[in-house]
Amino acid sequence: MTRTIHAGALSLVTLLAASCGQAPQPPAAPPITVRTMVIEPRDVPVEVTFPATIDSPRTVEVAARVPGWLQAQPMADGSMVKPGDVLYQVDPSQYRIQLDAANARVKQAIAQEQAARAQAEGAQAALVLAQSTFERNKGLVDSGAISKERWDQVTADLARSKATADQAAADIALAQANQASARADAENAQLKLSWCTVASPMDGQLGASKADVGSLVGEASTQVLNTIVQVDPLWAGFKPSARVLPAIVGARDRGTLTARVELPGAITTARPGMPIGLTDSAPRAEGKLVFLDNQVGQTTDTLLLRVEFPNGAGQFRPGGYAQVTLGLGMQRGAIVVPKSATFARQTELLVWVLGDDGTVQSVTIDPLAAWNNDVIVESGLKAGQRIVVEGLAKLRPGISVKDLGAPAPAATPAAADDAAPAATGASGT
């Protein structure tokens, strides 16, 4: 009996010694905290964005149409011009002399015509007299009332009178031809004289001059003096895939198509006194679709479209790059998730979905389009599901999480601006 007690005591001591030698178990890790949101269908605008090139609907080269010395440039380079504004003045001296000479030839031709008409009147009177004499005497030859010699003289006088009258008519015609030629020379000289004044044919902006005042212009190598570019309105040209065309045409025919042109990443000073930097609100303008090309590129499967938009502020320039966003209407009951709730795995886009058991699972989604800071989902999610929007970094499939609910609404820019002066004032007291 005693031996049995001693054995039991020894076993108890052995167990106690063994338990004291084991390392203590670490405490369980706290659950990962996340914030979630419930997916609710929303009505969102369907928009597609394309890179675009800004073009001018009209570009005109200003040229010197007559050779001469460039005398003046009344409008400075870069000026905004309108039709009729004098841009350049070529020395008109030689063309004014040519015009005076042509006008003098016109007057000379008029005088020649007047002289020829006076001669024609005398010749016509002589012809009438000769014709009358001929008629009176032609019946007297056979009766011998007049001699043969007299009849020959009457006949010769009539022939000379006809020839003189014909010559006078020819002189009149020649004088008229000379007059017409002189008038044409005068009109040509007047035209060349008018070309000495180079005026703007359109509204637009003048570029950089290619010739300085005092230069000889108008020759083959110096005809172009400048370029005028229309800057308001402008075109934004872009080339979407032909597969998008039915949606664009359909929205246009329904009257729901909208177009917006933007300069993303524009550098500006948002407020007076602020340093230069990237503005939060890019310069933008609302436009309208004015052109669809008549064929699709065989190698690119794209076609050219143009959006016309106003540029009264002059923030856009031809040749620059922009973005065109087309609004194709509203998508009713769309599934929309924040971009911050998505993550990529190779070529897939995924979100974390919180189940009823408190664990998360990754779900692949098929995005339809980006809209502001959200993603419109075509498939993969449904209304009523709860997705993780904050705390994604440490998640893995099947892990339990602690849901802190929906994130706090972001502060508006106006509220942030109001808070900044208050904080400054508090630190200064």
CB distance 150 to 66 below 8 Å: no
In the chain, the amino acid numbered 346 is Q
CB distance 39 to 384 below 8 Å: yes
Structure letter (DSSP) for residue 404:
-
Asked if CATH classification 2.40.50.100 holds for the domain at 60-91+197-229, the reply, yes or no, is: yes
Q: Can you tell me the distance from the alpha carbon of 165 to that of 180, in angstroms, rounded to the nearest whole number? A: 23
Q: Can you tell me the distance from the alpha carbon of 408 to that of 300, in angstroms, rounded to the nearest whole number? A: 46
Residue 22 host element (H or E)? none
At 427, list the tokens.
């630190």
Other CB atoms closer than 10 Å to residue 112's CB: what's the count? Answer: 17
Which class is domain 47-53+233-271+279-408? mainly beta
Please tell me the predicted confidence (pLDDT) of residue 8. Answer: 45
At 401, list the tokens.
């999480």
Please tell me the predicted confidence (pLDDT) of residue 406. Answer: 83
Tell me which residue of 275, 259, 255 sits closest to 267, measured CA to CA: 275
Give, in order, the Cα–Cα distances in Å from 9 to each of 3, 6, 19. 10, 5, 16
Half-sphere exposure at residue 128, Cβ-oriented, CA atoms within 13 angstroms: 5
Please tell me the predicted confidence (pLDDT) of residue 24. Answer: 61
The phi and psi torsions of 409 (rounded to 5 degrees) equal -60, 140
Sign of CA dihedral 93, 97, 99, 100: positive
- Residuewise pLDDT in 10s, the chain (429 residues): 444 444 444 444 444 444 455 556 666 667 889 999 999 999 988 888 999 999 999 999 999 999 999 999 999 999 999 999 999 999 999 999 999 999 998 888 888 888 887 777 777 777 787 777 777 777 676 666 777 777 767 778 778 778 877 777 888 888 888 889 889 999 999 999 999 999 999 999 999 999 999 999 988 777 899 999 999 999 999 999 999 999 999 999 999 899 999 988 777 665 666 665 555 567 899 999 999 999 999 899 999 999 999 999 889 999 999 999 999 888 889 999 999 999 998 889 999 999 989 899 999 999 877 777 888 898 999 999 999 999 888 899 999 999 888 887 755 444 444 444 433 333 333
